[in-house]
């Protein structure tokens, strides 16, 4: 039973980490271009993914 809970916890942490890394990757990629749409991608895409990763991380700790 504890092993199953540990696997789910690790899977949730892995998902949270992946979301944060992808979000930061989007933010870094948008810094290479100077265009208004890249700012929107930075704001909506990158920040949204980072925020989703942070929420998934907090949810993993709360649901443990």
Please give the radius of gyration of the chain, using alpha carbons only, rounded to the nearest integer.
Answer: 15
What is the per-residue pLDDT across 6-45, written as a single tens digit (0 to 9) for each?
899 999 999 999 999 999 999 999 998 888 899 999 999 9
Domain limits, the chain: 2-62
pLDDT, residue 63, reads: 86
Asked whether residue 58 carries a pLDDT value surpassing 70, the answer given is yes
pLDDT above 70 for 60? yes
What pLDDT is attached to residue 4?
A: 79
Phi-psi region of 9 (alpha: psi -120 to 50; beta: other; left: phi over 0): alpha
Q: Identify the pLDDT of residue 3.
A: 86
Q: Which residue has the higher pLDDT, 45 or 1?
A: 45
CA distance 27 to 46: 5
The Cα–Cα gap between 16 and 40 comes to 23
């Amino acid at each position: 039973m504890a092993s199953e809970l540990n696997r789910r916890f690790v899977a949730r942490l892995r998902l949270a980490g992946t979301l944060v890394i992808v979000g930061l990757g989007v933010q870094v990629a948008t810094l290479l271009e100077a265009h208004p749409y890249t700012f929107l991608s930075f704001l909506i895409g990158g920040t949204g993914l980072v925020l989703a990763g942070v929420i998934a991380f907090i949810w993993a700790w709360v649901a443990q």
